[in-house]
Structure 1
Amino acid sequence: MASSENIIYRAGVDYESRPMVILCACNLPDPSKVDYDTILRVVLAQLEQFVENDYTIVMFSGGALYRPGWGWLFKAYRSLNRRYKKNLKALYIVHPSTWPRLILGTMNAVISPKFGSKVHYIDNLSHLARVVPLNQINIPAAVYQHNLKFEDTITLPDNQQDHAHRVFGAPLERLMGPNGEKGLPNFIQDCIRNLIENGLYVEGLFRRSPSSAMLKQVRAAYDRGNPVNLTEYDIHISAVLLKLFLRELPEPIFPVDLYSLLQQQKRGEDQKTVAEFIRSEVVTKVTHNNLILMMEVFRLLKLVADRHESNLMTPHNLAVVMTPNMVRHEDVMQEIALSSVGHRDKDAPVDGALTLGTVVKVMIEHYDEVF
């Protein structure tokens, strides 16, 4: 059975400081397998927390796989006695199809015409943002997917165009504090946790691409400050979001002034010597915030590489796909050269000039020695 927490849950408050309750039709289970009377009791019990004061309900109607029958819906409607209806100030139905319009229209006409004045039909998420604070709602993945049928981009009203929540392209000092006192950004923690719990054995992790449309939706949700449950999405979205975050940092995770230092490293060194060079000369020169982020990202990459027999992502393969997101150079050809990765063999000496790609590979292979 779908968790009741996925069907009905509390969000923030609306523009008049009334608590918002979210109902998600997309999380309703198969009625042939679950007793919907049990679901009704759970929903009513959750609403009991709010009925003594004014409250607002947002119902996501789109993306549902299962629809309860007419008989159950009339029963549910009749179960909403005066206590539930009196203090309900607005019921916003998002992505309404003919189904909810017809049912509610019939119920309001037959049972309570007055209740009908509280029902508002919302065409898309941009429309919803004009009536309630969108960034306070955990919007299910199925709802974002359904919303793409009506709009490619969610547009916030001018009074909500606040970039304080922006994650991508934001400096680490704002996200973590000048000295890392805020810790790792929640977004990074979300991605890493999801990848560790659900992605370590997935073939092509960090190499394969997810749906670009859904990637755009999740990225925008984080930048708006929306709560996001990454476990609802393709695991490759978490991987690509992490790469995008690193790519769009105003200052790269490896400082630009390290590039010339790499060129001075002797050729033909064995990898343990290179690992010692990275520990003493590279890691010590990054900022405290960069170091915190670097340690967590490379810890994840090491966990992925340790399972390369399943996911096919060796340290070499990971370095190939990750390094271009960590290097920044005004000369594109220099950037490509810096991103190149040396020999695939873990024990082979570093041939040619030391590149950032090789540094990334060695840091994955020798994580414990480097950090």
Structure 2
Amino acid sequence: MASSENIIYRAGVDFESRPMVVICACNLPDPNVIDYDTILSVVLAQLDQFVENDYTVVMFSGGALYRPGWKWLFKAYRSLNRRYKKNLKALYVVHPSTWPRLILGTMNAVISPKFSAKVHFIDNLSQLARVVPLNQINIPAAVYKHNLKFEDAITLPEDQQDNAHRVFGASLERLMGPNGEKGLPKVIQDCIGNLIANGLYVEGLFRRSPSSAMLKQVRAAYDRGNPVDLSEYDVHISAVLLKLFLRELPEPIFPVSVYAKLQQQKRGEQTKTVLEFIRTEVILEVTHINLVLMMEVFRLLKMVADRHESNKMTAYNLALVMTPNMVRHDDVMQEIALSSVAAHLQRESIVEGALTLGTVIKVMIEHYDEVF
């Protein structure tokens, strides 16, 4: 059941620094279960916080499963007395179907013709971005999905197209600070948090692919700086976003210098246990901020592997799907070779020719506590 906070909530401010109130029709509950008069009282109570000053309302009409009846809508409209309407500067109705156009048109003609000048019908999210700052609005997943009926991608106005919020392909130094003082990037926090809460027992986690169209929408939202609630989406989107983030880092999370050390081991120049090699040769090559990120990612992977009887993702399976996102090499064949994973590797010794980055990652997942 949708909470009142999901139906109406405060966003940021519009281009004239007026507070924005967002109303989401997609989060309206079944009227046979919830009394809509109660919802009306909640909506009015929220609006009471803003009506004494100028404010803007953005109403997402698309993606709604339930729609209130005419009688209730006229009652709701009449409840908006002069103090609500006076300081309302604009009502943007996004993805209006015939239903809201007809209702608002009828109300404006019959009850308040002057109010119609404040109502603006917005066909898609690109158009909405031209009238309000899109990155300050938490847009529900149902709205993104509905928007795909009208446009494949959201296009921001030229004066809003910058990389200030871009997270995919950005350096860890910019996102986390030179010493990691800013903490984990928000997208990583969100992905890990959602996967721990909702994905640990999902079969094929990190292996299965979600809707590519919705994945693009969520990725673009993070790059715009939009707040995102990943719990509204297919949990596989969180898993793929995490892989994409690692894959698109300007520098791989495992530095290239590690590759040479792996080559030395393959030639049998040294004899060490796998864990000793990881602790003394691999981890010491990783920068501080990479290590902070690595610890959280591998903590999650360990939690997933520990539940492999349910999710079918053993440390071996996870290493297979994760390693290609952590390795980078100009030679494609070398990259493929580095990504291979030994199915069976004795903990006590390194078998000549068997140690690859994929195998290192498998062991790091299996023995997280000993590595970190």
- TM-score, normalized by length of structure 2? 0.97
Contact map agreement 1:200 1:307 (CA 8 A) in 2: yes
Do the aligned partners of residues 316 and 350 (structure 1) sit closer, same or farther apart at CA in structure 2, a change above 3 Å counting?
A: farther
**What does residue range 162-241 of structure 1 map to in structure 2 within 5 Å?**
162-241=162-241
Deviation of 1:350 after TM superposition, in Å, equals: 4.2
**What does residue range 1-371 of structure 1 map to in structure 2 within 5 Å?**
1-265=1-265, 273-344=273-344, 350-351=350-351, 352-371=353-372
Deviation of 1:257 after TM superposition, in Å, equals: 1.4
Q: What do the CA deviations read for 1:298-347 (whole angstroms, capped 9, x no partner)?
A: 00000000000000000000000000000000000000000000024675
Deviation of 1:21 after TM superposition, in Å, equals: 0.1
Q: What do the CA deviations read for 1:73-123 (whole angstroms, capped 9, x no partner)?
A: 000000000000000000000000000000000000000000000000000
Deviation of 1:215 after TM superposition, in Å, equals: 0.2
Classify the secondary structure of the residue corresponding to 1:31.
Answer: coil
In structure 2, distance between residues paired with 1:347 and 1:308: 20
In structure 2, distance between residues paired with 1:365 and 1:140: 37
In structure 2, distance between residues paired with 1:156 and 1:296: 33
Deviation of 1:353 after TM superposition, in Å, equals: 3.8
Contact map agreement 1:62 1:95 (CA 8 A) in 2: yes
Amino acid across the alignment from 1:360: I
Q: What do the CA deviations read for 1:243-277 (whole angstroms, capped 9, x no partner)?
A: 000000000000011101011126799x9921121
- Across the aligned residues of Structure 1 and Structure 2, the Cα RMSD in angstroms comes to 1.5
In structure 2, distance between residues paired with 1:71 and 1:156: 38
Classify the secondary structure of the residue corresponding to 1:90.
Answer: strand
Deviation of 1:280 after TM superposition, in Å, equals: 1.4
- TM-score, normalized by length of structure 1? 0.97
Amino acid across the alignment from 1:149: K
In structure 2, distance between residues paired with 1:187 and 1:309: 28
In structure 1, distance between residues paired with 2:316 and 2:371: 17
Amino acid across the alignment from 2:45: A
Contact map agreement 1:206 1:318 (CA 8 A) in 2: yes
In structure 1, distance between residues paired with 2:46 and 2:344: 57
Q: What do the CA deviations read for 1:286-308 (whole angstroms, capped 9, x no partner)?
A: 11110000000000000000000
Do the aligned partners of residues 319 and 263 (structure 1) sit closer, same or farther apart at CA in structure 2, a change above 3 Å counting?
A: same
Q: What do the CA deviations read for 1:3-34 (whole angstroms, capped 9, x no partner)?
A: 00000000000000000000000000000111
In structure 2, distance between residues paired with 1:80 and 1:149: 32
Amino acid across the alignment from 2:358: G
Do the aligned partners of residues 37 and 179 (structure 1) sit closer, same or farther apart at CA in structure 2, a change above 3 Å counting?
A: same
Contact map agreement 2:274 2:347 (CA 8 A) in 1: no
Unaligned runs of 5+ in 2: none
Deviation of 1:186 after TM superposition, in Å, equals: 1.2
In structure 1, distance between residues paired with 2:68 and 2:101: 14
In structure 2, distance between residues paired with 1:126 and 1:363: 44
In structure 2, distance between residues paired with 1:231 and 1:299: 20
Classify the secondary structure of the residue corresponding to 2:164.
Answer: helix
In structure 1, distance between residues paired with 2:343 and 2:87: 69
Contact map agreement 2:126 2:156 (CA 8 A) in 1: yes
Q: What do the CA deviations read for 1:19-62 (whole angstroms, capped 9, x no partner)?
A: 00000000000001110000000000000000000000000000
Do the aligned partners of residues 44 and 241 (structure 1) sit closer, same or farther apart at CA in structure 2, a change above 3 Å counting?
A: same
Contact map agreement 1:253 1:290 (CA 8 A) in 2: yes
Do the aligned partners of residues 114 and 293 (structure 1) sit closer, same or farther apart at CA in structure 2, a change above 3 Å counting?
A: same
In structure 2, distance between residues paired with 1:212 and 1:253: 25
In structure 1, distance between residues paired with 2:84 and 2:12: 19
Amino acid across the alignment from 2:100: P
State, as a whole percentage, how many aligned pairs show the same letter: 85
Amino acid across the alignment from 1:94: V
In structure 2, distance between residues paired with 1:258 and 1:35: 62
Deviation of 1:285 after TM superposition, in Å, equals: 1.1
